[in-house]
């Protein structure tokens, strides 16, 4: 089964031309050694081995930034599989389509030395042709992001079929964001991130940022990407946010606790605590009882008011 990823080719696509002409993608982050034979099946042991090296090279950075860097190197070098589809911005408002062809290799002394061979097709997707949710996903911060949720639209765009046309969503306070209906958790996530400051959580928490760029959306862990990682405005607490499109079940409690455990063990600085928030349309007695035993996790319901807009 092929997967779909948005992959950046250097900061602000600065290495796009080299990658397109050379037939590769890659990462750097200052880890200049051949990782052949050093890429485990899980990101956690890789993070534990190389995050300290990254922090030695960048002492001003946080453990969260180190975790992001290591996850990006590991994902590009190990997790991507031959046949996976890539969308990479070319710096002009378009995304070039490619496919992973080979396994990891190291290019000594070159830009983005941790590389994968890619077949770049002569297919470009204009950002303006994408639906709002796909634009949000491909525009997210980070070296690589999984965009499987948009597979059908991507295949349509690659095949030259018409793109999906999103409809406006209105809240009780007016137009907030153009988006498709909240039929999928990814759409809910993008909506929440875009309007974080207007929510209850936005009063005390900020989505985690590094050098002014939001990096807390779809934060990678060894048990999957957590939806949102936030930090309190006093920088003393980290928050793991898990989103569910409909009624939440008690299974989400175990899921968010796994993410919280990862954040506490791998990312939290000395003295920082970790909390959790589950956001869903509704709950039931089972999840209420489960959460009653976990005071560090709170439950929030979302509500959206819709309004028809005359054409």
C-alpha 301/C-alpha 246 separation (Å) is 10
Q: What pLDDT, on the 0 to 100 scale, is given for residue 187?
A: 72
What pTM does this model have?
0.79
Q: What pLDDT, on the 0 to 100 scale, is given for residue 306?
A: 60
Residue intervals in the chain for CATH 3.40.1350.10? 168-301
Q: Cα–Cα distances in Å, from 52 out to 11, 29, 57, 69, 252?
A: 23, 13, 9, 11, 32
Query: Which is nearest to 118 in space by CA: 24, 227, 28, 230?
Result: 24
Which residue stretches of the chain have pLDDT < 50?
A: 161-183
The answer to whether domain 168-301 has CATH 1.20.1640.10 is no
Q: What is residue 5's three-state secondary structure? A: strand
Looking at CATH, the fold of the domain delimited by 4-158 is given as: ph1033 like fold (3.10.590)
C-alpha 88/C-alpha 97 separation (Å) is 7
Residue intervals in the chain for CATH 3.10.590? 4-158
């Amino acid at each position: 089964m092929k997967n779909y990823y948005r992959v950046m080719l250097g900061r602000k696509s600065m290495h796009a031309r080299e990658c397109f002409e050379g037939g590769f993608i890659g990462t750097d982050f200052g880890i200049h050694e051949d990782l052949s034979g050093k890429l485990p099946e899980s990101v956690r042991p890789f993070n534990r081995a190389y995050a300290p090296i990254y922090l030695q090279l960048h002492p001003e950075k946080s453990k969260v930034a180190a975790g992001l860097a290591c996850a990006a190197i590991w994902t590009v070098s190990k997790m991507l599989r031959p046949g996976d589809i890539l969308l990479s911005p070319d710096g002009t408002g378009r995304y070039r389509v490619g496919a992973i062809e080979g396994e990891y290799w190291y290019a000594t002394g070159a830009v983005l030395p941790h590389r994968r061979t890619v077949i770049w097709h002569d297919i470009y997707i204009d950002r303006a042709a994408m639906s709002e949710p796909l634009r949000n996903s491909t525009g997210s911060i980070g070296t690589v992001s999984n965009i499987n949720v948009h597979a059908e639209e991507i295949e349509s765009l690659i095949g030259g079929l018409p793109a999906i046309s999103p409809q406006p969503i209105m809240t009780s306070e007016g137009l907030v964001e153009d988006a498709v209906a909240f039929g999928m958790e990814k759409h809910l996530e993008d909506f929440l991130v875009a309007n974080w400051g207007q929510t209850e959580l936005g009063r005390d928490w900020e989505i985690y940022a590094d050098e002014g760029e939001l990096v807390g959306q779809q934060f990678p862990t060894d048990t999957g990407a957590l939806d949102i990682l936030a930090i309190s405005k006093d920088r003393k607490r980290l928050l793991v946010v898990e989103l569910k499109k409909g009624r939440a079940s008690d299974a989400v409690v175990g899921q968010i606790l796994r993410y919280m455990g990862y954040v506490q063990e791998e990312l939290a600085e000395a003295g920082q605590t970790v909390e959790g928030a589950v956001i869903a349309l509704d709950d039931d007695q089972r999840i209420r009882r489960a959460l009653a035993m976990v005071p560090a996790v709170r439950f929030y319901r979302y509500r959206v008011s819709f309004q028809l807009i005359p054409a």
